[in-house]
Structure 1
Amino acid sequence: MRVIPALRCNYSGILPGEFYNQVYLSMHLMLAYDLSSNVYFVYAGTYKEQVVINRANVKIYGQTSNALTYSSNQATITNNVPASSAGSNDASGTVRVLATGVSIYNLNIANTYGKPVDQSQAIALSVQAGQFGCYGCKLSGYQDTLLANKGTQFYGKSYIEGAVDFIFGQQASIWITGSTINTIGNGYITASGRESEDSNYYIIDKSNITGTGTQYLGRPWREYARVIVQGTSIGSHVVAAGWTQWSSSTPRTAHILFGEYNNSGGGAWRTGRASFATKLSAGVSISTALGSTSWIDSAYL
């Protein structure tokens, strides 16, 4: 059971400073106006809002009976804003991280916009800064659930759900480990937007890929996409090709690295893998992907 820090976001209570809504205390207001601490506790409840975290080194803890898993989380932040009305992918995020060194523990974060139209980009979590840690969280959406866009990012013992390009971004290096990646329809798990030969990776490590629909591990959003899946159980709903081009008219496969190492399950490497996929002889280390790991909570490695 988690010990409650001093500052609290309470579904039915009042924080010092009395920023209070009749339905719920806004986490967004709490972060914006109460600057006395960088540590916040979120009580059990469902908070419908968009939250912007623009202060460095903030830590947010959701109420839970077991901090080392997402399955016991009791606090949910949710909204249903699509990028088409918000003006950009980032602006549609239910939670938006804009500052360095932010850590989020045991929160459920959802964008429930779903699949009502063809253009259904709707972000649950948007991360635009480095040394970001996501621990025991549950991220839910349909298209573009997680925008992992800039800096070094770590996701441990978490759950990420979607259908189309639901782990995507351009300038981030991310490490997902000990997590469940669940698909809820036809589509593509990753869409790496890496645009040059920089040092960034998308790594899915020692995780479980589950779900429904006809799925690919990824497609290249930009020409230098780089995604590695290693030590992971891959469900048989992932097709034999494993990976696919961006589109028939814009393949974007000349400079990519879509790599696999030591995976298992019905969707792991087999006959019919895409010609531009690579079966690796060794995995990638977390230090290669993220550099120093001193900022990561080692309980989630």
Structure 2
Amino acid sequence: MLSSLTLVLSLTAAAAAAPLEARAARTSPPAGCLAVGSSAQYKTVQSAVNALSTSTTTGQCIFIYGGTYKEQVYVPQLKSALAIYGETTNTAGFSSNTVTITQGKSQDDSANNDATATLRAHTTNLKVYNINLVNTRGKGSQALALSAQKDRQGYYGCQFKGFQDTILANEGAQVYGRSYIEGATDFIFGQRARAWFDGADIRVLAASLGYITANGRDSSSNPSYYVIHKSTVSAKAGDSVNVGAYYLGRPWRNYSRVVFQQTSLSNVINAAGWKIWADGDPRTDKVEYGEYANSGDGSKGSRANFSKKLSAAVSISEVLGGDYKDWVDTSYLS
């Protein structure tokens, strides 16, 4: 009984302390966390996830030692909050990450988008820190690094690498803080999520034509909203990308809603900024595409007539709700 009480208290403390750790190194498991690594109790991330309690309402956590984990990870709905930490010497961003989870599933061999993802995140109240999520499939098929399917999910100092459909921001309120996002085609997409991307390094790959976002909002009552805030957009280091090859977004559905604000846009962004879905199927009659106070060569030009310049920035509370501080690690916000 005493050991169980100690574990409960340590898990609660670890979950509560996460924001306080946000500028330090994290090279060993916080108190109460399950540990994953070659010398740890759990050798795979999935085995640690499988060992989590599905009945407790007390916060749980997993710590992953540095290394490359070749697996797909599925996190089912839990009754508790969950934090997943990757080993790093600097939690402030992604540059010192040592943990990579990688695999190469795609819709060539999977039933749907979600089934291709390296991390399939199906639980509410999830925080993920300093982990690189990679899908190696490359050009030719939808192949996700992340499928984010529930409310109140936060990704901090992470890297997301793919080619087509890298991040599926699909359900609920989500935040991506100080992270790296890489892709070429519709690589931030989804249907119903309210997602805030803050301080993101968005890097596009060598391609003759590409789209950063493909928001699938399908009605005026659908709450979906993507805002890219105080971020940067440019070519991936080492990749040659033609001037104007990329668009900020195209509408997966015709109520698509996306804003880029106070973001540095390199010349990879086309002067029109935004693109129809496809020839003969524009889907632009109800879109809400906006920009505010962007900079760089990619912010210049005569924008598409279905987009607009905003007179003020969109607030985080407008996207995530007025209670966002209850679940967001605000130390990763600009």
**Larger strand share, 1 or 2:** 1
Contact 2:193 2:223 (8 Å CA) reproduced: no
Identity %: 46
Q: 2:89 aligns with which of 65, 68, 72?
A: 65
Question: Are 1:188 and 2:211 matched, yes or no?
Answer: yes
Question: Are 1:286 and 2:310 matched, yes or no?
Answer: no
The 3-state SS of whatever aligns with 2:206 is strand
Shift of 1:207: 0.4
Q: 1:249 aligns with which of 266, 269, 280?
A: 280
TM-score, scaled to structure 2: 0.84
Distance (Å, rounded) in 1 between the aligned partners of 2:135 and 2:224: 27
Question: Are 1:201 and 2:225 matched, yes or no?
Answer: yes
**Larger helix share, 1 or 2:** 2
Deviations 1:1-55 (A, max 9, x none): 125224344331241xxx5xxxxx1111211124387111100000000001112
| Corresponding residue for residue 328 of structure 2 | 296
| Corresponding residue for residue 221 of structure 1 | 252
* Residues paired across the two proteins, number: 289
Distance (Å, rounded) in 1 between the aligned partners of 2:234 and 2:101: 24
Contact 1:8 1:43 (8 Å CA) reproduced: no
Aligned 1:135-154 pairs, distance under 5 A: 135-154=156-175
Distance (Å, rounded) in 1 between the aligned partners of 2:94 and 2:262: 21
Shift of 1:83: 1.9
Q: 2:150 aligns with which of 101, 112, 129?
A: 129
Distance (Å, rounded) in 2 between the aligned partners of 1:104 and 1:271: 38
Q: 1:276 aligns with which of 299, 306, 312?
A: 306
Unpaired runs of 5+ residues, structure 2, are 1-24
Shift of 1:138: 0.4
| Corresponding residue for residue 62 of structure 2 | 40
Partner letter of residue 200 of structure 2? Answer: S
Shift of 1:275: 1.0
Deviations 1:105-135 (A, max 9, x none): 00000000001x3xx1000000000100000
TM-score, scaled to structure 1: 0.93
Aligned 1:102-113 pairs, distance under 5 A: 102-113=126-137
